Amino acid sequence: MSTTAYTSPVDKLLTLGKPESTSPESWPNYLELGLGPEHIPELIRMATDLEFRGPESEEESEEEDPDFWAPVHALRTLGQLHAETAVEPLVNLMAELEDDEWMFEELPSVFGMIGPVAIPALSTYLADPSHEMYSRAYASNGFIEIAKWYPESRSESIAAISKQLEAFEENDEELNSFIISDLVQLKAIETLPLIERAFEADRVDEFVIDLDYVLEEFGLKEREVVESPFLEMFKEISASSAKQKETSSPTPEESYVLPPTPARTPSHSGDKIIKFSGKRITKKKGKKKR
């Protein structure tokens, strides 16, 4: 819990408690609380107040302590206010969050709402190898959100990510994978030659993303469709089960049919499965969203 005092109406964020984990379009309208541009300095102070979400606060019950969630609400408010002066403090915050996954996942959306003014600071953070790799990957996510909210900045966002990928020999392989995934999300087909060079140099973690998936997402290759070995097995089990139900008063011994030993195959749905790889949902093991 923070010992810092906050004035009205900013202090209302201290009482809201755990927010819904939703897309920015579904966030509450925090401006209806009376918050405006004049409150930006105090909102920045709240969003970057590490006492709210430090180890001691985590040990308390977050469900009973609404203060724990105040920085999340402050972040969202800064996004809705398009608070350009918040960019530098929030970019610097990424270096201090450690494993606070909830805050990390909110920040790219906030940068997106603030706009292209955040691109230089995010580019500098992404390029700095002294920062933890996963936080740099979240910085790269910010470019996706900026391009989403401000389509006219798409080229600038792609250029910022591509510049970092040009250093694929020095980058961590997993970082290369994450920023390639970002380029794929932006449908940046013009970066394919650079992406292919990174793969050819064996500098991409293909557990995160592989070249086939890149080509498929760019519309340059059809997805490989394979028959699922599980399908026939399930059909046989279902048929056997239906047949047993037709018999009268079977004994337990008669009712049990030993299913065939399944082969190890990908999971599936429907008669066919689509074989492809994709970006990890969670970048870092650690504090999960509550």
pLDDT value of position 255:
47
Which pLDDT belongs to residue 288? 37
Residue 181: burial class (beta carbons within 10 Å; 0-12, 13-18, 19+): buried
> Can you say whether the dihedral through the CA atoms of 102, 105, 111, 112 is positive or negative?
negative
pLDDT confidence tier of residue 10, bands split at 50, 70 and 90: very high
pLDDT digits (tens, 9 = 90+) for 91-131: 999 999 988 999 999 999 999 999 999 999 999 999 999 99
Residue of 121, 66, 113 whose CA lies nearest to 93? 121
How many other CB atoms are there within 10 angstroms of residue 33's CB atom? Answer: 17
- Quote the pLDDT of residue 189: 98
Q: Which tops the pLDDT comparison, 72 or 247?
A: 72
Is residue 265 pLDDT above 50, yes or no? no
**What's residue 22's pLDDT?**
83
40 or 61, which is more confident? Answer: 40
Tell me, what's the pLDDT at 250? Answer: 53
Q: Would you say residue 290 has pLDDT above 60?
A: no
The yes-or-no verdict on residue 13 having pLDDT over 60 is yes
Residue 240's pLDDT is what?
A: 73
Percentage of the chain exceeding pLDDT 90:
68
Which of 158-162, 243-247, 252-256 has the lowest average pLDDT?
Answer: 252-256
Nearest to 49 by CA among 80, 113, 82, 6: 6
- How high is the mean pLDDT of the chain? 84
Q: What's the pLDDT band for 238 if we cut at 50, 70, 90?
A: confident
pLDDT in tens, 186-218: 999 999 999 999 999 999 999 999 999 999 999
Q: Which of 20-24, 71-75, 157-161, 251-255 has the lowest mean pLDDT?
A: 251-255
In the structure, what pLDDT confidence band is assigned to residue 270 with cuts at 50, 70 and 90? Answer: very low
Tens digit of pLDDT for each residue in 120-150? 999 999 999 999 999 999 999 999 999 999 9
Which whole-number Å values give the CA distances from 63 to 10, 13, 186, 272, in the listed order? 20, 15, 37, 43
pTM for this prediction: 0.77
Predicted local confidence at residue 226, as pLDDT = 61
pLDDT of residue 263: 45
| pLDDT at residue 267 is higher than 80 | no
Confidence of residue 36 (pLDDT cuts 50, 70, 90): very high
Cis peptide before 9 (omega within 30 of 0): yes
